């Protein structure tokens, strides 16, 4: 398949060298190939670009005007390609990243300073969305999504799994007593989500749909409610590991949960019609290395 830009380069070579044979020699191609390239351009433009004689070629008036614009256009294209090559070597520009608020706070924000030091020319823009957002509408370059993916228009890079745990504060357990089986959940207060309802399914057996005593739209709000002694919650380990280490939360019935399950999946997603830019690539490489604990 012949490239239009190749034909333009052949035309400039003919103009600069003064003949088809000289252009062919410089380009290391046949004279016929050069001649056909110029003819294609003239046919597509429906105009004569070159006056041909037995000894040399010269530009028509239309050819002179066209070639002047072609030189400017090809110079701009070469400059753009050079800038792109530079950017690939040194990723630069704005990178918009969207994630659920807990993931953003616990898994991204702690590493931003180190990322900025490694890639100072990337302008990182973080947004927190606890609901699925339209990447194109919100102009998001890459989103971190937890749970199974249904959108086939998205590329997905698996980052790992984040186990879920049922937890409660020591103060709540002291006040309301322990919970050592799924059947005993009915006697406890539970903290769940406003939407989607699938987040209120706890993975015991084939799944138990709880009826939350308190609901919140954000995982971080659910965590804070749990820390405040408002009931049991079912949360990802990436946001409660430190709470468990400090003893601020206690894990319950860990050996009775079904693991792995679809809600534990963590993926980075971007649109299929988007070329993976250097900015996205270095972001994924950098943070994947720090999310190995997922």
Name residues whose C-beta falls within 8 Å of residue 111's C-beta, 6 or more positions apart in sequence. Answer: 286, 287, 290
Q: What does the pLDDT read at residue 223? A: 96
Structural domain of residue 148, as residue ranges?
95-155+273-290
199 by DSSP, 3-state: which?
helix
Residues 277 and 140 in one domain: yes
Q: How many CB atoms lie within 10 A of CB 125?
A: 13
* Tally of domains in the chain: 3
Residues 85 and 108 in one domain: no
Residues 169 and 247 in one domain: yes
Residues 132 and 278 in one domain: yes
Q: What is the CATH number of the domain that holds 198?
A: 3.40.190.10
Between CA 191 and CA 234 the distance in angstroms is 8
List, for residues 245-257, the tens digit of each pLDDT value: 999 999 999 999 9
Alpha-carbon dihedral of residues 233, 237, 243, 248, nearest 10 degrees? 30
Higher confidence at residue 172 or residue 159?
172
Q: Which residue has the tokens 């050079």?
A: 82
DSSP E strand stretches across the chain: 50-52, 57-59, 93-99, 122-128, 142-146, 154-161, 164-168, 190-193, 201-202, 208-209, 214-216, 232-236, 250-252, 265-271
Average pLDDT over residues 89-104: 88
Averaged confidence pLDDT in the chain: 87
Q: What does the pLDDT read at residue 277? A: 76
In a domain, 266, yes or no: no
Instruction: Provide the β-strand partners of residue 215.
Output: 192
Between CA 254 and CA 287 the distance in angstroms is 28
Residues 62 and 188 in one domain: no
pLDDT above 60 (res 47): yes
In a domain, 37, yes or no: yes
Residues 100 and 132 in one domain: yes
Residues 66 and 130 in one domain: no
In a domain, 267, yes or no: no
pLDDT above 70 (res 136): no
> Residues 172, 127: contact at Cβ < 8 Å?
no
Binned at pLDDT 50, 70 and 90, residue 1 comes out as very low
pLDDT above 70 (res 108): yes
Burial 94-113 (b: 16+ CB within 10 A, else e): ebbbbbbbbbbbbbbeeeee
In this structure, what token pair is assigned to residue 224?
């804070």
pTM of the model: 0.65
In a domain, 148, yes or no: yes
Binned at pLDDT 50, 70 and 90, residue 188 comes out as very high
In a domain, 268, yes or no: no
Q: What does the pLDDT read at residue 131? A: 63
Sign, Cα dihedral of 8, 9, 13, 14: negative
Q: What is the CATH number of the domain that holds 38?
A: 1.10.10.10
């Amino acid at each position: 398949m012949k490239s239009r830009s190749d034909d333009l380069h052949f035309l400039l070579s003919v103009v600069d060298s003064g003949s088809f044979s000289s252009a062919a020699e410089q380009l290391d191609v046949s004279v016929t190939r050069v001649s056909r390239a110029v003819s294609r351009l003239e046919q597509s433009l429906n105009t004569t670009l070159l006056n041909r004689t037995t000894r040399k070629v010269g530009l028509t008036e239309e050819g002179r005007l066209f070639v002047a614009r072609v030189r400017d256009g090809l110079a701009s294209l070469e400059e753009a390609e050079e800038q792109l090559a530079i950017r690939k070597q040194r990723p630069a520009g704005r990178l918009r990243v969207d994630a659920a608020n807990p993931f953003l706070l616990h898994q991204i924000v702690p590493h931003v300073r180190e990322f900025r030091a490694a890639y100072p020319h990337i302008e990182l823009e973080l947004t927190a969305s606890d609901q699925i957002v339209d990447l194109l509408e919100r102009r998001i370059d890459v989103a971190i999504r937890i749970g199974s993916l249904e959108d086939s228009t998205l590329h997905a890079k698996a980052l790992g799994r984040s186990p879920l745990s049922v937890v409660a504060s020591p103060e709540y357990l002291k006040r309301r007593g322990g919970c050592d089986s799924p059947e005993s959940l009915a006697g406890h207060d539970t903290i769940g989500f406003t939407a989607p309802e699938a987040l209120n399914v706890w993975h015991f057996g084939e799944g138990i749909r709880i009826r939350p005593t308190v609901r919140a739209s954000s995982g971080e709000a659910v965590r804070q409610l749990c820390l405040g002694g408002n009931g049991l919650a079912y949360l990802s380990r990436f946001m409660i590991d430190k709470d468990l280490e400090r003893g601020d939360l206690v894990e319950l019935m860990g050996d009775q949960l079904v693991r792995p399950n679809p809600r534990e999946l963590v993926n980075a997603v971007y649109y299929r019609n988007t070329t993976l830019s250097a900015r996205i690539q270095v972001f994924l490489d950098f943070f994947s290395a720090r999310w190995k604990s997922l």
